[in-house]
Structure 1
Amino acid sequence: MKELITRWLERDPDPATRDELQNLIDAGNEQELTERFSGRLAFGTAGLRGIVGAGPNRMNRLVIQETATGLGQYLQQTVPQAKSQGVVIGYDGRPDSKTFAHDAASVLTAQGIKVYLTVTVAPTPLVAYGVTALKAAAGIVVTASHNPPAYNGFKVYWGNGAQIIPPHDKGIAAAIDQAAIEPLELMDLNEAGNQGLLVWLDDEFYNDYRESIRQSALLQNYAKPDPISIAYTAMHGVGAQMAETLLADAGFTKVYSVAAQREPDGTFPTVNFPNPEEPGAMDLVIAEAEKHQAILACANDPDADRFAVAVRTPEGQYKMLTGDQVGVLLGHYLLTRVNPETSLVGTTIVSSSLLQKVASRVGADYYQTLTGFKWLTNIAMEKQREDSCFLFAYEEALGYTVGNMVWDKDGLSALLAFAQMTAELASQGRTVWDQLEAIYREHGLYLNSQVSIALSPNSPPIGDALRQQPPEEIAGRNVVRIDDLKSSTRYKADGSVETIDLPASDVLIYFLEDDSRVVVRPSGTEPKLKCYYEVVEVIDQVDTLEHAYQRAQSSMDELVQRHQNSLTGLTDRS
Structure 2
Amino acid sequence: MKAESKPLLDPQTQRNVDAWVNGNFDSKTQDEIRQLLKNDPQQLSDAFYTTLSFGTGGLRGLIGVGCNRINQYTVRFATQGLANYIKKHAPDKPSVVIGYDSRHRSQEFAEEASRVLAGNGIEVHLFSELRSTPLVSFACRHLNATAAIVITASHNPPEYNGYKAYWSDGAQVIPPHDQGIIDEVNKIESPGDVSLVDLPHNLVHLINHEIDQAYLDATEKLQHYPMENKKSGKELKIVYTSLHGTGITIVPSILERWGFASVSLVEEQSKPDGRFPTVKAPNPEDHDAMAMGVEQMKHEQADLLIGTDPDNDRVGAVVMHEGEPIYLNGNQIACLCLHHICEAHAKHQSMPKKAAFVKTIVTSELFRAIAEDHNCPCFDVLTGFKYIAELIREWEEGKKGAYQYVFGGEESYGYLLGTHARDKDGAISCALICEAALAAKLRGRTLLDELHRIYEKYGVYRESLINIKFPETKDGREKMRVTMEKLRADPPKVIGGKAVSVFEDYLTSNRRDLGSGEVKDIDLPNSNVLIFHLEDQSKIAVRPSGTEPKVKVYFGLREDVAVGDVEGAIERCQVKVERLEKEMGSILG
What TM-score, normalized to structure 2?
A: 0.89
CA RMSD, Structure 1 to Structure 2 (Å): 2.3
C-alpha distance in structure 2 between counterparts of 1:225 and 1:169, whole Å: 43
Which of 313, 322, 325 is 1:318 aligned to? 325
* Preserved contact between residue 341 and residue 364 of structure 1 (Cα < 8 Å): no
In structure 2, relative to structure 1, the CA distance for the partners of 1:22 and 1:219 (3 Å cut) is farther
Q: Is the 8 A contact 1:340 1:363 kept in 2?
A: no
Asked if 1:392 is matched to 2:407, the reply is: yes
Deviations 1:293-318 (A, max 9, x none): 1100110111111100100011x111
| Structure 1 residues without counterparts, runs of 5 or longer | none
Q: Determine if contact 1:12/1:61 at 8 Å carries over to the other structure.
A: no
Give the equivalent residue in structure 2 for 1:500: 522
1:101 maps to 110
Aligned residue among 286, 289, 302 for 2:294: 286
Go from structure 1 to structure 2 and tell me whether the alpha carbon gap of 1:454 and 1:262 turns closer, same or farther (over 3 Å shift). closer
> Are the structure 2 counterparts of residues 408 and 14 from structure 1 closer, same or farther at C-alpha, using a change threshold of 3 Å?
farther
Q: Is structure 2 residue 578 aligned with structure 1 residue 557?
A: yes
Tell me whether 1:475 sits opposite 2:490 in the alignment: no
Is 1:545 equivalent to 2:566 in the alignment?
A: yes
1:290 deviates by 1.2
Please say if residues 221 and 420 of structure 1, whose CA atoms lie closer than 8 Å, have aligned partners that are also in contact: no
- Please report how far the alpha carbon of residue 431 of structure 1 lies from its aligned counterpart in structure 2 after TM superposition: 1.7
Q: How big is each residue's C-alpha offset from its partner over 1:114-172, in whole Å with a ceiling of 9 and x where there is no partner?
A: 11111111111100111111111110011122111111111111111111123433322
Matched, 1:485 2:485: no
User: 1:352 deviation in Å?
Assistant: 0.8
Aligned-partner SS, 1:532: strand
CA distances 1:234-280 after superposition (whole Å, capped 9, x unpaired): 10111113111111111111100011111111111111111122241
1:320, distance to aligned residue in structure 2 (A): 0.8
Query: Within 2, Cα distance between the matches of 1:460 and 1:290?
Result: 44
Moved more, 14-23 or 369-378: 14-23
1:178-197 pair list within 5 angstroms = 178-181=187-190, 182-190=192-200, 192-193=201-202, 197=203
Aligned to 1:405: 420
Cα pair distance change 1:458/1:471, threshold 3 Å: closer
Equivalent residue of 2:288, what SS?
coil
Which one-letter code corresponds to 1:150 in the other structure?
A: E
Q: Give, in whole Å, the separation in 2 of the partners of 1:431 and 1:328.
A: 15
Match of 1:451 among 453, 466, 473: 466
Structure 2 residue aligned with 1:420:
435
CA distance in 1, matches of 2:421, 2:326: 29
**One-letter code of the match for 2:32?**
E
- Map 1:156-305; keep pairs closer than 5 Å: 156-181=165-190, 182-190=192-200, 192-193=201-202, 197-216=203-222, 220=226, 222-223=228-229, 224-305=232-313
The 8 Å contact of residues 222 and 420 in structure 1, kept in 2 or not, is answered as no
Match of residue 139, structure 1, among 128, 142, 148: 148
The SS at the match of 1:346 is strand
Structure 2 CA distance for aligned equivalents of residues 123 and 459 of structure 1: 32
- 1:447 Cα offset (Å): 0.3
Please tell me the residue identity of whatever aligns with 2:424: K
Aligned partner (choices 42, 49, 54) of residue 31 of structure 1: 42
Q: Secondary structure at the match of 1:381?
A: helix
- Give 1:80 deviation, angstroms: 3.8
How far apart are the structure 2 equivalents of 1:270 and 1:468? 44
Where does the alignment leave 5 or more consecutive residues of structure 2 unmatched?
Answer: 4-14, 471-475
Give the letter for the 1:536 counterpart: R
Q: C-alpha separation between the residues in 1 aligned to 2:489 and 2:128?
A: 56
SS at 1:135 equivalent = coil
Q: Which residue of 2 aligns with 1:374?
A: 386
| Distance in 1 (alpha carbons) for counterparts of 2:23 and 2:205 | 28
Secondary structure, in 3 states, of the residue corresponding to 2:389? helix
Shift of 1:563: 4.5
Cα 1:221–1:449 shift into 2, 3 Å: farther
The equivalent of 2:473 in structure 1 is none
Q: Describe the superposition over 1:158-215 as per-residue Cα deviations: whole angstroms up to 9, x where unpaired.
A: 111111123433322222232223442212233x22xxx2221111122111211123
Pair 374,437 (structure 1): closer, same or farther in 2 beyond 3 Å = same
Count of residue pairs brought into register by the alignment? 559
Displacement of 1:77: 1.4
- Given residue 514 of structure 1, which amino acid in structure 2 is its aligned partner? D
Question: C-alpha distance in 1, partners of 2:183/2:533?
Answer: 39
Cα distance in 2 between the residues matched to 1:463 and 1:32: 26
User: When the two structures are superposed, what TM-score results if normalisation uses the length of structure 1?
Assistant: 0.92
The structure 1 residue matched to 2:100, chosen from 60, 69, 91, is 91
Partner AA of 1:434 in structure 2: D
Aligned counterparts, 1:286-365, within 5 A: 286-314=294-322, 316-336=323-343, 337=345, 338-339=350-351, 342-365=354-377
Identical counterparts, % of pairs? 35
Letter in 1 for 2:280: N
The Cα shift of 1:564 comes to: 4.3
Please give the secondary structure, in 1, of the residue aligned with 2:285. coil
**What is the Cα deviation at residue 372 of structure 1?**
1.2
Tell me: CA distance 1:509–1:293, structure 2 relative to 1, closer, same or farther (3 Å): same
- How far apart, CA to CA, are the structure 2 residues paired with 1:487 and 1:50? 28
1:464/1:179 CA distance change after superposition, 3 Å: closer
Equivalence for 1:67: 78
Instruction: Read off the aligned partner of 1:214 and give its amino acid letter.
Output: E
How far did residue 381 of structure 1 move? 2.4
